Amino acid sequence: MLSSHSLRCTGCGLRIAQNEARSNFRCATCGDLFEIEYPWSATRDKATDAGAAANQPNPNALRYLWQERRTSTLAADQSGVWRFRDLLPIVPVDKIVTLYEGNTPLYEMPRCAALLGMNWLLAKHQGMNPTGSFKDTGMTAALSVAVANGFEWVACASTGNTSAAMAAYAARAGLRSLVLIPEGKIAWGKLSQAMDYGSTTVQLRTDFDGCVRVLAEIVQRAPVYLLNSVNPYRLEGQKTPAFEILEQMDWQVPHHLIVPGGNLANCSALGKGFAELQHLGFIKRVPKISVIQAAGANPLYRWMQAGGVGPFEPVEAHTRATAIRIGNPASWKKAVKVLATTGGWVEEVSEQEIALAKAEIGAEGIGCEPASAVTLAGLKKLVADGRVGKEETAVLLLTGHTLKDPEYTIQYHRGALLSDKEAAAETVAQRAANAKLRREPVVLDAKVDDVLKVLDAMQAQPA
Interval 215-231: pLDDT, tens: 999 999 999 999 998 99
**CA-to-CA distance for 106 and 13, rounded, in angstroms?**
36
Query: Among 3.40.50.960, 3.90.226.10, 3.40.50.1100, 3.30.1330.40, what is the CATH number of 106-132+235-437?
Result: 3.40.50.1100
Interval 332-372: pLDDT, tens: 999 999 999 999 999 999 999 999 999 999 999 999 999 99
- Name the band, by pLDDT with cuts 50, 70 and 90, for residue 2: very low
Q: Answer whether residue 245 shows pLDDT above 60.
A: yes
Say which residue, 273 or 183, is predicted with more confidence. 273
Position 55 scores a pLDDT of 64
Position 56 scores a pLDDT of 81
- Name the band, by pLDDT with cuts 50, 70 and 90, for residue 275: very high
Q: How many CB atoms lie within 10 A of CB 42?
A: 12
- Name the band, by pLDDT with cuts 50, 70 and 90, for residue 1: very low
Position 4 scores a pLDDT of 85
Q: Answer whether residue 407 shows pLDDT above 50.
A: yes
Is the entire prediction scored with pTM above 0.85? yes
Interval 296-305: pLDDT, tens: 999 999 999 9
Position 185 scores a pLDDT of 65
Average pLDDT over residues 223-249: 97
Torsion region of 251: left, alpha or beta (phi above 0 gives left; psi -120 to 50 gives alpha): left
